[in-house]
Amino acid sequence: MIRKAAESLRKRFIAWILVAGLATSVPLFSQSVRPNIIIILVDDLGFSTIDCYGGLVETPNIDSLAEKGVRFNQFCNTARSCPSRAMLLTGLYPQEAGMGFMAAKRTKKDERLKVNAKVRPYAYQGYLGENIPTLPEMMKSAGYSTYMSGKWHVGSSDTATWPLQRGFDRFYGFLGGTQDYYHPDDLRSGNINIEPSGERYYTTDAFTTEAIQFLADHDMEKDSTPFFLYLAFNAPHFPMQAMPEDYERYRGRFMAGWDILRDSVLTRQKEMGIVPENTVLAPRPGPSERLGSKGEAVPSWESLTPEQKDAMDAIMATYAALVDRVDQNVGRLIEALRKTGELDNTIIFFLSDNGGEAESPALGNFNIEDLGIYGKGGKNYGRAWATFTNTPFREYKHFMHQGGIQTPLIIHWPSGINSSMNNSIITEYGFLPDITMTCVDLAGATRPDIKNGKEVPDSDGRSLKGLLQGQDTPIHTSPVFGEHEGNRMIRLGRWKMVGFYNDPWELYDVVEDRSESHNVAGKHPALVRRLNKAYTRWAADAGVLPWDQVEAFLK
């Protein structure tokens, strides 16, 4: 990204050529007691899944965080698990952190991966750079105890890339991208590989149980110091494996089908103020070459047979049950904080790493006979339901359109958020490094300029602390960027320019057109040129390479 002195001048010049106004400094309120910090990250959650974002899954505990906190309706991730986690844990663009694509896997048969990693460009090495300070490392420097439970997925090729070696005091979870919910085979306590234990083991429950135990131990041993907890659920990422009682509760609720239900959800979103009144639904998707053999058109619900409708209801009930179980466990965590008296001065962030996934054909990948049975399940819920859970947006995980990058973000902090803002919706746009820099700000921590003898890149993240006190100031007045697999975007003010790999730029006024339905690039050629110039400079600074070159390194 932007480095020091001369680079920061160049960055300010980019902002100047794009907008007339410059950033206004925001005075921050003071607080005598630093808060505990909890980040709850869920996996592959579509923007419109949970109740307080217009969705049809019952999430009373997550909703309670919103009712006594704030919701953002224009906060973005970076469209994929590994890059999003890298951004969140470093405050940097993923390429700057060494995670421009996916994590380097650690397997017994693939020793050549370590050799390949040595010749890969740094931006795509597949683990967090050694010279990049992580959020838990920065929290520890400020006196915080640091705990993690759940999915890591930002490096497993070497022990040095694991959570305990990157700043966490305690860790329970798995290192890779996905695991069986009932019988995970890469489960770890600290650095030690362990077997799941207990009757009816389930990762969502187990991650929460361990997190609560970490905090209980902290309360007993280190109560005078604050804590940082990163609770990273693998739900509702595939495989689609739900607890039977949760599945049964949702069975039959989705028989109206995605066409009617998308309309219903959009109506709720407008009533809640989640999207503007002028928002329209993105069209039901047709065939997509970008998704290859999985890119078949999404059929109308009425074109399905009764048997197909029943199967589709079953797989969506499974997805809903996965999310419901997360909500139950959020409730367990809230209650644990309440019992120890820590709830009021704990800031809780709830968000997703990317939008709903469409990594299977339109009607999913599963056997209906296996759903709702402990120890079994399906794989993917399909492009049709992914379109529903991303209402009203286009596209999905992997892509930089809204369906890929728009995340629910809830922030709850009774002693820090102005009570007049309870249950309000923040319309300013932001992105993952803002959370990182908010944590650094609240903790009184600092980001080092040098680590391991190398310069640490500046962060484009901005603290949200002033915003949580009701200050009506934009979070960003300089561009925000994104790139994954050649899909790319730049956001500045009301304008979002976005493009698929090897396709021309599209331009949207996302204040007037939140669902990216009207490409106005042809009407604003000068703006497209200016934004493209800024993107090109950013990509060069961040180490972004053409996707075909990256693919060659990964083979």
Cα gap 406→508, rounded to integer Å:
15
Which residues 6+ apart lie within 8 Å of 50 measured at CB? 57, 59, 62, 63, 323, 327, 408
Tell me what the pLDDT averaged over the chain comes to: 92
Q: Is 153 a catalytic residue?
A: yes
For the chain, list the domains and their CATH numbers.
5-237+317-354+393-554 (3.40.720.10)
Annotated active-site residue in 52, 82, 476, 484: 82
Set 52, 76, 153, 484: catalytic member: 153
Task: Verify whether residue 82 is a known catalytic residue.
Answer: yes
Q: What is the pLDDT of residues 400-412, one digit of tens each?
A: 999 999 999 999 9
Please tell me the chain's helix, strand, coil percentages from 3-state DSSP, rounded to the nearest 5: 35, 15, 45
Concatenated DSSP letters of 119-135 = HS-GGGSSS--TTSPPH
Phi-psi category of residue 517: left, alpha or beta, with phi > 0 → left and psi -120 to 50 → alpha: alpha
* Mean pLDDT per 10-residue segment, the chain (555 residues): 40 39 34 87 98 98 98 98 98 98 66 53 95 98 97 94 98 97 97 96 98 97 96 98 98 98 98 97 92 89 98 98 98 98 98 97 96 97 98 98 98 95 96 98 95 96 94 92 98 98 97 97 98 98 95 82
Tens of pLDDT, residues 178-223: 999 999 999 999 999 999 999 999 999 999 999 999 999 999 999 9
Cβ-in-10-Å burial (0-12, 13-18, 19+) of 11 comes to: buried
Q: Which residue has the tokens 């419901």?
A: 324
**CB-CB neighbours of 130 under 10 Å:** 12
Half-sphere exposure of 275 (CA within 13 A, CB side): 29
The whole-number pLDDT of residue 70 equals 98
pLDDT score, position 106: 52
The model carries a pTM of 0.93
